[in-house]
Structure 1
Amino acid sequence: MSELVRFLREKVWLLGDTRWYARVDGVRGELVEVERLGYAQLDARARAVGAWLSGRTPPGARVLLMYPAGLEFLTVFLGCLYSGRIAVPAPLPDTDRRALQRAEGILRGAGVGLVLTDATHRPALGSWLAGLDPVARAGCVATDETVLPDPGSWSPAALEGAATAYVQYTSGSTREPRGVVVTHRNLLHNLLSIREKFLPEEILDELRHDPSQTGAGWLPHHHDMGLVGMLLSPLASYGNLVFSSPVAFVAHPLLWLQMISRYRALYTFAPDFGYDWLLRSLKDVPLTDLDPPLDLECLRYALSGAEPVRAGVLEAVARRLAPVGFRPDIWAPSYGLAEATLMVTGTPCGSGPTVGRFDREALEAGRAVPAADGSDLVGCGRPADADVRIVDAAASRPLEDGHVGEIWVRGDSVADGYLADAQATAEHFGAVTADGDGPFLRTGDLGFFQDGELYVTGRAKDLIIVNGRNLHPQDIEEIGAATDPATGPCAAFALPDAAGRERVVLVQEIRPRHLRGRTPAALAALIKERLANELRLAVDVVVVAPLSVPRTTSGKIQRARTRDELRAARLVPLHSDLHGPLETRP
């Protein structure tokens, strides 16, 4: 068996069912535990699935996993690892046209011959698969209603570290999703880096010897942070996990805090928008008067990653949750991406966040200059056993600390490349510096180092260049979203008019019930005034209804798709500053 499988099964041998995974849900405002499996139970079912796959599919076969949040997905994913089959986690497609197209694209691109799901979703998936042309069709099996072999019939597959473990499809926030080929060595290295670089020895000792130590989360299992950070890290670090589905969290955000409080969670994790959603949802909730009472003093590590971490969100969440025991020094900002398995840099437990204030005009010019009055940026920690460089992408020249450039990464966590895309693999995974050092992964993210800490400033593809200024869309979006109680998520981008002149556009969702008699045009004027005062920027605002701005399956704003939807007149504005025809070129 591979070193990865041996490592995971060693935890089962050491801990048995003294450690566990549990899924919870919210029922009429109450937290209810829906299912639970101990490590040994999880392992037994994974071996049964592995034995079944070995008799049903050839070695190295790619298997599409389309499950709701729950333990069946985890057991089947482990069964794929155990049997040397390649799992391809994917979200369940709904009736949305783009979701179905995305699912079909994954099915074709990954060359999948078998789809695994649960009994509830098999009929709908079977009908969908039957409607595809013969080239894309695949068998569909519900593993929870299939008679599996005895776990003892499983025999370990002879696998090297270079063998593919799974294919992780990217979220597609700046381009169409691509399949990242993650090896057994990549996954083992990243799990060990997370455990050993960011958890102090005293906490690891607690996890080894205290069966009550638990993590809590709600992330989607088909994304890198949910799969590696939420589901697999506890097994690698001797801990328990209590989790809910993302749908349950979005519908009942208080469920997250209830999980932490009831199970005395040591750590939790989420992207920035998750903490922001929690904050907005708790606005009128009397946290100190709940029954049973909330107590978050158990938390010692609150990771924030997967997208730019905003200082304002960290501060506001810590302030709002302080009465129930949340401490600001438990924040642990991090940076990572699927192409590096997950974690690239992170903040060790107990260190607390580093927030720097930098001159805004200097940042626009590519320099990070500390200033008393400027933009607050959150440090994302130090490298997790990886070689991380800041590079002038145009010249392939490494930059010194304090200079903004593209983030390049090298190390054992960096994946093999993109599935069936040699050109993109060469472009993104084969970068070499001007002095011949490499290969590096080009992340497409921009940032800089300051005092050993990585600061991420945004995506290169999203950068807005107008009137000689380099503007990061999240700076514009943060002001738009925070302008008024009626303003919500938004997307900023550059758009040429019919004459070819670049203009900055902000597509802004609003919450109609907070308008209090004002018109969308009045709200747009308020946003424009704030942007002019704070960023010295003229912006055209397009006001739309809630949930109009396109998002990825993990909830990230899709700026390029929003721009395309606006160009194609598929967005329905409640108000628009745009007049006349828009340039339709890509």
Structure 2
Amino acid sequence: MSELVRFLHEKVWLLGDTRWYARVDRVRGELVEVERLGFAQLDARARAVGAWLAERTPPGARVLLMYPAGLEFLTVFLGCLYSGRTAVPAPLPDTDRRALQRAERVIRDAGVGLVLTDTAHRPRLASWLSGADTNGTDTTRPDTTGPDTTGPDTTDPDTTGPVSAPQAECVATDSTELPDPDTWPPLAQDLSATAYVQYTSGSTSEPRGVVITHRDLLHNLLAIRETILPPDVRDELRDDPSQAGAGWLPHYHDMGLVGILLSPLASCGNLVFCSPVSFIAHPLLWLQMISRYRAFYTFAPDFGYDWLLRRLKGGRPTEPVPVPDPELNLELELELSCLRFALSGAEPVRADVLDAVARRLAPIGFRQDIWAPSYGLAEATLMVTGTPCGSGATVRRFDRDALEAGRAVPAPDGAELVGCGRPTGTDVHIVDPGTSRPLDDGHVGEIWVRGDSVTNGYLGNPQATAEHFGARTADGDGPFLRTGDLGFRQDGELYVTGRAKDLIIVNGRNIHPQDIERVSETADTATGPCAAFALPDGSGAERIVLVQEIRPRHLEGRTPATLADTIRKRLAHELRLAAHVVVVGPMSVPRTTSGKVQRARTRDALRSSRLATLHSDLPTPA
């Protein structure tokens, strides 16, 4: 077996079924445990799947895993690791044409011949894969007023015409007779062997398959454990069978897979989780999991914490001093003092969200020092920088004009930025993207990374692999992974300022779109997610455009035009910017499978008149 599999087996041998995974859901308003497996049970099931795969497929075969949230996915994923088959996690394309198109691209790109799922979803998938259903089904997206973390990727603007069905066999593993796990040992594999292919969410480009080896995964799991968990905390997790984590992220997302599902095997902890669909519908389920199971830690992106905050009774706090909320204290009897580590990552971490969540939940035991901002990306397996348990977030203010000029100058009334911690077993450089010259601390540039967690590149795409993974500095140092993210280092911590491709350059100013979006999203109770970008006007000059989703029921008699005027005034006052505001309904802004707003896709949809606008300030058609 590989060193990775040996490492996992040592945990199973040491802990047996004293550690467990449990999935919960909300049933008639109550938290209910739906399924549970101990580590030894999980391992036995995974060995049975591995034996079955070894009989049915050639070594190295790529297998698409399309499961709902649950433990069947995890057992099959581990079965792929044990058997030397390459897992390709993917979201279930249940009803949306765009999701079918994304799945079709992934199957063809990865050369998949076998799709694994559960009994409930096999008929629909098998019908599509056999070509019997090539027209898709309902192309409408479910309404909701929340972020789309589980729904289809919207990377393909063409949603008309039939969906081409690739030819691949589809098997439901939960109803298939599997071999005896005790008659088959995991296969011997080198650390350089491919463990799985993680398709990126495609926030600024088409999804690409990141090839992740056994070495990459093992190194990142150990780096996460040893960097963010001090030795005494690691000992506590190993010795106390009651310690648990809690989460809801999708298993096909890098943070959901590595951070939520696989980390407990490395840190010797339990895990309680729910599906992303359940979280979006019932955000308080997240807090109930933490409280009921006395969870030690949790992982989520910034928008997850913000969504929870918006859905709590009363919304964002306005009181300078926390006031106990009857819904939290009495009806649900929540208590969060057990929580000692709340990681926020996968997208820019906002100081206002951290502060608002901590103040809102302080009456039930949430503390500021449990915040643990991080930075990572699929191309580095997951985590690149992290904040140790108990350290809390580092929040500093920097002069806005200096940031636009590429320098981080502290200023008491400047823009708040959150430090994303220190490198977790990686070498992080800040480099001028134009000259490839390394930059000193306090200078904004592109984030370049190297280390054993950095992956081998993109599947079947040598040009993109060379472009992103083969970077060298002007003095020849390298190779590095060019992340495409902008940031700077200060006192050892990494601060992320945005994406290089999303940077808006207007009138000589370098403006990060998330700064515009933050102001707009918090301008009014009716404003939700939005996307900011630049568009040329009739003369070729760049102008700033903001596409803003609204929640119509929160307008309270106001018109979309009135709301747009409020947003423009806020942007002019806080950022000294003039922007054109386009108001759209809920779920109109394209998102990736992990919920990230796709600015480029939004811009393209606006220019081709594919957005149903409720109001637009643009003087001419985009």
Deviations 1:257-286 (A, max 9, x none): 000000000000100000000000003373
Q: Confirm or deny: 8 A CA contact 2:237 2:267 kept in the other structure.
A: yes
Deviations 1:233-259 (A, max 9, x none): 001100000000000000000000000
Q: Superposed, which structure 2 residues align to 1:331-342 within 5 Å?
A: 331-342=371-382
Q: Does 1:201 align with 2:201?
A: no
Q: Does 1:312 align with 2:359?
A: no
Deviations 1:413-461 (A, max 9, x none): 0001000000000000000111111000000000000000000000001
Aligned-pair CA distance for 1:189: 0.2
In structure 2, what residue type is equivalent to 1:53? L
What SS does the aligned partner of 1:270 have? Answer: strand
Q: Confirm or deny: 8 A CA contact 1:302 1:330 kept in the other structure.
A: yes
Q: Confirm or deny: 8 A CA contact 1:405 1:448 kept in the other structure.
A: yes
Q: Confirm or deny: 8 A CA contact 2:104 2:165 kept in the other structure.
A: no
TM-score, length-normalised on structure 2? 0.92
Structure-2 separation of matches of 1:290 and 1:168? 43
Q: Superposed, which structure 2 residues align to 1:68-147 within 5 Å?
A: 68-131=68-131, 136-147=166-177
Q: Confirm or deny: 8 A CA contact 2:313 2:327 kept in the other structure.
A: no
What SS does the aligned partner of 1:560 have? Answer: helix
1:394 to 409, 434, 455: 434
Other-structure match for 1:11: 11
In structure 2, what residue type is equivalent to 1:549? V
Structure-2 separation of matches of 1:135 and 1:214? 41
Deviations 1:490-539 (A, max 9, x none): 10000112332211000001111111111100000000001011111100
Other-structure match for 1:183: 213
Other-structure match for 2:146: none
Q: Confirm or deny: 8 A CA contact 2:302 2:353 kept in the other structure.
A: yes
In structure 1, what residue type is equivalent to 2:477? D
Q: Does 1:408 align with 2:448?
A: yes
2:559 to 519, 533, 536: 519
1:213 to 243, 247, 253: 243
Q: Does 1:266 align with 2:296?
A: yes
In structure 2, what residue type is equivalent to 1:161? L
Q: Confirm or deny: 8 A CA contact 2:245 2:297 kept in the other structure.
A: yes
1:566 to 591, 606, 610: 606
2:340 to 276, 292, 300: 300
Compare 94-103 and 272-281 and name the one that shifted more: 94-103
Q: Does 1:504 align with 2:544?
A: yes
Root-mean-square deviation (Å): 1.1
Compare 93-102 and 377-386 and name the one that shifted more: 93-102
Q: Confirm or deny: 8 A CA contact 1:50 1:83 kept in the other structure.
A: yes
Q: Does 1:359 align with 2:399?
A: yes
Structure-2 separation of matches of 1:220 and 1:103? 16
Aligned-pair CA distance for 1:94: 3.1
What SS does the aligned partner of 2:524 have? Answer: coil
Aligned length: 582
What SS does the aligned partner of 1:443 have? Answer: strand
1:377 to 381, 396, 417: 417
Q: Does 1:480 align with 2:516?
A: no
Q: Confirm or deny: 8 A CA contact 1:498 1:581 kept in the other structure.
A: no
2:534 to 494, 500, 511: 494
Q: Confirm or deny: 8 A CA contact 2:25 2:32 kept in the other structure.
A: yes
Structure-1 separation of matches of 2:353 and 2:25? 26
In structure 2, what residue type is equivalent to 1:525? D
Aligned-pair CA distance for 1:393: 1.1
2:621 to 567, 581, 585: 581
Aligned-pair CA distance for 1:299: 0.3
Structure-1 separation of matches of 2:521 and 2:298? 25
Q: Confirm or deny: 8 A CA contact 1:359 1:369 kept in the other structure.
A: yes
Structure-1 separation of matches of 2:525 and 2:561? 15
Q: Confirm or deny: 8 A CA contact 1:287 1:324 kept in the other structure.
A: no
What SS does the aligned partner of 1:188 have? Answer: helix
Other-structure match for 1:59: 59
Structure-1 separation of matches of 2:192 and 2:473? 25
Aligned-pair CA distance for 1:288: 3.9
In structure 2, what residue type is equivalent to 1:189? H
Give 5+ residue unaligned stretches, structure 1: none
In structure 1, what residue type is equivalent to 2:429? R
In structure 1, what residue type is equivalent to 2:352? G
Structure-1 separation of matches of 2:305 and 2:165? 42
Aligned-pair CA distance for 1:135: 8.9
Structure-2 separation of matches of 1:526 and 1:407? 35
Structure-2 separation of matches of 1:549 and 1:171? 15
Structure-2 separation of matches of 1:345 and 1:29? 38
What SS does the aligned partner of 2:619 have? Answer: coil
Other-structure match for 1:462: 502
Structure-2 separation of matches of 1:292 and 1:535? 41
Other-structure match for 2:318: none
Compare 557-566 and 70-79 and name the one that shifted more: 557-566
Give 5+ residue unaligned stretches, structure 2: 135-162, 315-324
Compare 275-284 and 79-88 and name the one that shifted more: 275-284
What SS does the aligned partner of 2:179 have? Answer: coil
| Amino-acid identity (%) | 79
Q: Superposed, which structure 2 residues align to 1:229-248 within 5 Å?
A: 229-248=259-278
